Amino acid sequence: MADVGQYLRLVLDGADYLLPSTASVAIEQRDALVPAENGAGPVLAWRQTRSGRWPAYGLNASFAVSRPAHWQRAVFLDAAGQPIGVVADEVNLLGRGDMHVAPFRPLGAPPTRFGHLFNAAWVDGYRITFVIDPRSLAGFLRSLGGAA
């Protein structure tokens, strides 16, 4: 079981983000996934399971749909019983001793109907790494479609 104080460092299009490790239901290497058939929609690959297949979406650093060429892994989140994933250039597990994450409440209206995508940050000197809200990300990914 993942430790509540641990985070996954995701690199999306060269930008670092953190995701609570407890939000992840699976992490798969690219070669263990089935590529999307059409190559044009938002789904890049599928994880085949006994109960069905799970979509993995590509996003750029601004969370716009993208088709990154050099992604290595997909991180799957539990989204109302149907896991959904995002592909990343890199994924690393960071322990609680490596950082201090501070929660915050973003100002203004949420950029998605699922709320704000970030709910905390890790400040390390002059560098800020945002923590992704897993529920908001899962809802956002689900809204992209293409997971039929």
Please give the chain's pLDDT, 148 residues, in tens. Answer: 345 678 999 999 999 999 998 898 899 999 999 998 776 788 999 999 998 899 999 999 999 999 998 999 999 998 777 899 999 999 999 876 767 888 888 888 888 888 899 999 998 888 999 999 999 999 999 999 876 5
Close Cβ partners of 140 (under 8 Å, ≥ 6 residues apart): 63, 112, 114, 117
Round to whole Å and give the CA distance between 148 and 137.
Answer: 19
Among the listed residues 35, 8, 32, the one whose alpha carbon sits nearest the alpha carbon of residue 20:
8
